[in-house]
Structure 1
Amino acid sequence: MKKILITLALLAITAVTAQAGPEEDRMAFIKYYKAKFPSVPMEEYANGVYAIDPIGRENWEAIEEFPPYEPFIDAGQAMWEKPFANGKGYKDCFPDGPAMADKYPSWDKQQGMVVTLPLALNQCLEANGEKPLKYKKGPINNILAYVAFQSRGKVINVEVPKDDPRAMAAYEDGKKFYFTRRGQLNFSCASCHLQNAGLRVRTEILSPTVGHVTGWPVYRSKWGTVGTLHRRFSGCNNNIRAKALKAQGEEYRNLEYFLTAMSNGLELNGPSARK
């Protein structure tokens, strides 16, 4: 009976999202996961896969007692406080302070595109004559880890402005990417993280889509370092034998826009650690 209900919920979410707006999409996702994992409180989805993996959660909580990402937070704080060559710094670009991860991704009407936090940080650097940071590895993760740590407890609230049709188009592009099958394995994001969430692939349990963005950047044991969300996007594409796209390119930024909107209402808890 439970499998029938989940199948019906999956069919419903597919039908709804074909013509719905962001809030209707989010509620359809929530309804589906409530049917699939009825004992999991909604706020637990901020913990990603560990909301539905009790064994993995025990290991994760043990790791969090001595988190491997702490040195990256410290390095990021040093970056935040260090002046640029012109005497200015990140503080001049972001006067409200580093606790700002909840403001991204956002729709920038002037630029006509989705602006993510890594992109905003690099735009700050370039505006002050500094060299931009690489988007997957290296120092970008330090500053992101510091901002994420300062932003813990802030609530995600992505807005898709109704007065700018370009914003909705970007959101719809992200949603289309999520549901589109690709690669030699012919998988979509939804194949793993919606339809098969909770099932095991090799040694890992597939995480639910809701809550995917809350804990980034993430220290992964297989990486041996902290990495960005777009690095993970590339890894997913590689796993299904599809061509990885450019980090912070339009496709991945729009996908992040969609995914973050699906996590509206959840608290940020980055940086985090994963296998």
Structure 2
Amino acid sequence: MKKLAIAALCALVANGAFAAKKATDTTPEEDLKTYRDYFFKRFPGVPLQEFANGIYAVNEISRQNWEAIEEFPPYEPMVEEGEEMWNTPFANGKTYGSCFNDDPAQRKHYPHWDDQRKTVVTLPMAINECRVKNGEKPFKYAKGPITRILAYMAYQSRGQTIDVKIPNKDALAAYNKGKSIYWARRGQLNFNCGSCHVQSAGQHIRANVLSPALGQASGWPVYRSKWGELGTFHRRFKGCMKQMRAKPYKPQSEEFRDLEYFLTHMSNGIKFNGPSARE
């Protein structure tokens, strides 16, 4: 049965058959087991927790360079800026702590399904809602100041275990929508997300190594050498879709939040380790 499930996953990657109606064919629990089994077979000997490190879990040369960078991490000043933002009162005298129980280590709570609003809530979304609630303007979602406060909160959350819940049928519908977006072929290249991060994980595309999908939700926000700055998870979603030559959704759109919900669930059991540095 395990081999059949893995074969089915590979077939879906190969032919892009994961249409919306197909997303309901398996449960989140079955998806997670199949996902892990696939990557454990593809990269034998790599422990589950190591997948939090992306390509550095599966490529030794890249890992050596990364370990050298992490001795003086480029995101460290941004974490310090985020701490200052956390402690600086808004114009009304309140702080971010008033929205987050005075505890910046909130990563384990996001993304989650909000049953009252019938939507997936992400941490960047909650940060901007906190700002608006306190009379401040919302941040842009892809880069800039929001990455600083995210970096600080992520740093304080290191070691928390990803444990995304799918509590009811409405949450399941959002999860399945995210799954469908992940596997849908799009753009001039007719790729889906799994074309690179499942089927071709660990392989080179030009000078870059393609990261395994397992664990990809753990390290955000990320300082990418290509960007020369911190960026959010949804900035990377947008960039990937552009590389497929497809029209991307907007950061924090319902589509990208559902995609994050699916992808983060597929990293359940792995510890958060953001912020992180990547190529």
Same-fold call, TM cutoff 0.5: yes
Question: Given the alignment of the two structures, is residue 76 of structure 1 paired with residue 73 of structure 2, yes or no?
Answer: no
Give the equivalent residue in structure 1 for 2:8: 11
Q: Specify the code of the residue in structure 2 equivalent to 1:9.
A: I
Residues 6 and 36, structure 1, Cα contact 8 Å, conserved in 2: no
Residues 23 and 177, structure 2, Cα contact 8 Å, conserved in 1: no
Q: Provide the C-alpha distance between the structure 1 equivalents of 2:101 and 2:148, rounded to a whole number of angstroms.
A: 19
SS where residue 113 of structure 2 aligns?
strand
Q: Provide the C-alpha distance between the structure 2 equivalents of 1:55 and 1:7, rounded to a whole number of angstroms.
A: 33
Question: How many residues are treated as equivalent by the alignment?
Answer: 269
SS where residue 114 of structure 1 aligns?
strand
How far apart are 1:6 and its partner, in Å?
A: 8.4
Counterpart pick for 1:92 among 93, 98, 111: 98
Structure 2 stretches of 5 or more lacking a match? 13-17
Residues 24 and 176, structure 2, Cα contact 8 Å, conserved in 1: no
Give the equivalent residue in structure 1 for 2:130: 124
Moved over 4 A (4+): 5-8, 12-18
> What percentage of aligned pairs have identical amino acids?
55
SS where residue 219 of structure 1 aligns?
strand
Give the stretch that moved more between structures: 46-55 or 12-21. 12-21
How far apart are 1:129 and its partner, in Å?
A: 1.0
- CA-to-partner distance for each residue in 1:92-130, whole Å, 9 max, x for gaps? 000150011111000011111000000000000111111
Question: Given the alignment of the two structures, is residue 185 of structure 1 paired with residue 189 of structure 2, yes or no?
Answer: yes
SS where residue 107 of structure 1 aligns?
strand
Question: Given the alignment of the two structures, is residue 236 of structure 1 paired with residue 240 of structure 2, yes or no?
Answer: yes
Counterpart pick for 1:268 among 253, 272, 275: 272
CA shift in 2, pair 1:19/1:7, >3 Å: closer
Q: Provide the C-alpha distance between the structure 2 equivalents of 1:119 and 1:73, rounded to a whole number of angstroms.
A: 19
Residues 181 and 255, structure 2, Cα contact 8 Å, conserved in 1: yes
Q: Specify the code of the residue in structure 1 equivalent to 2:189.
A: L
Give the equivalent residue in structure 2 for 1:133: 139
Counterpart pick for 2:203 among 199, 203, 212: 199
Question: Given the alignment of the two structures, is residue 211 of structure 1 paired with residue 215 of structure 2, yes or no?
Answer: yes
Q: So what's the TM-score if we normalise by structure 2?
A: 0.93
Q: Specify the code of the residue in structure 1 equivalent to 2:98.
A: D
Residues 184 and 240, structure 1, Cα contact 8 Å, conserved in 2: yes
Q: Specify the code of the residue in structure 2 equivalent to 1:55.
A: I
Give the stretch that moved more between structures: 194-203 or 229-238. 194-203
Question: Given the alignment of the two structures, is residue 48 of structure 1 paired with residue 45 of structure 2, yes or no?
Answer: no
Q: So what's the TM-score if we normalise by structure 1?
A: 0.94
SS where residue 79 of structure 1 aligns?
helix
Give the equivalent residue in structure 2 for 1:111: 117
How far apart are 1:89 and its partner, in Å?
A: 1.1
Q: Provide the C-alpha distance between the structure 1 equivalents of 2:72 and 2:230, rounded to a whole number of angstroms.
A: 15
Give the stretch that moved more between structures: 35-44 or 218-227. 35-44
- CA-to-partner distance for each residue in 1:163-205, whole Å, 9 max, x for gaps? xx22111000000001100000000001111111111111111
Q: Provide the C-alpha distance between the structure 1 equivalents of 2:202 and 2:4, rounded to a whole number of angstroms.
A: 14
How far apart are 1:46 and its partner, in Å?
A: 1.1
Q: Specify the code of the residue in structure 1 equivalent to 2:86.
A: W
SS where residue 216 of structure 2 aligns?
coil
* TM-align CA RMSD: 1.7
Counterpart pick for 1:34 among 37, 40, 43: 40
CA shift in 2, pair 1:195/1:18, >3 Å: farther
How far apart are 1:11 and its partner, in Å?
A: 2.2
Residues 155 and 267, structure 1, Cα contact 8 Å, conserved in 2: yes
How far apart are 1:226 and its partner, in Å?
A: 0.5
Q: Provide the C-alpha distance between the structure 2 equivalents of 1:18 and 1:111, rounded to a whole number of angstroms.
A: 23
CA shift in 2, pair 1:125/1:167, >3 Å: same
Counterpart pick for 2:175 among 171, 179, 191: 171
